Structure 1
C-alpha cells in the first residue's frame, strides 16, 4: 500500500461491499474478501463451462452464445477476484494496525 505513512490505515477499497444490511431484492453478502473470491471463482468457472459446452455443439449460433456467456460470467468473475485481492490486502493491513480483523 504505497502512499500511506507507516502505521496509518489506507482507505477501505470498495467500501460499498461491506455494508451490514445489503438493500435490494437479492441480498448477497460479500463482506469478506474470501466470499468475493469464492463467488468470483464460481462465476469464472461457470463462464468456462458454458463456453466449453456451447463450443462442443459446433453450430455458429451456439459458439457466439458461448463467447457471450463466457465474456459476461468470466468478466464478472475476474472483476470480483480483483476486488477480493484488493480487499484482502487492505484487511491484512487493518489487522496489523488494529490487531483484529475488520469483519
Structure 2
C-alpha cells in the first residue's frame, strides 16, 4: 500500500489534468491509516507534498490570469518543473517503498501526519 500511496498521485495527476494529485494519497491515508504506521506516513507525506505543489500551481494560474496571460511566458516552465519534480519524487518514494523504507518528501506543508 505504500507504493500505491506514492504512485496514486501521478496517476491521479494524469487523470485529472494536474488538478487532483492529492486525491490518491488521501484515499490511501483514509482507508489504511490505522492498519500500518508506515503506510500512514507514506500516504500523509505524499498528500502533503502534493498539496504544496498544487498550491504553487494554483498561484501560478492566478498570476497568469492577473497579468492577462503575459505571465504565461514564465508560467509554462514552472508547470514543467512542477511536473518533473512530482514524477521524480513519487518514483523515488515508490522505489523506497518497494524496499520497505519510508520516504520523507521535500517541500511539504504538513497537514496530515
TM-score, normalised via structure 1 length = 0.41
Larger radius of gyration: 1
Larger % of helix: which?
2
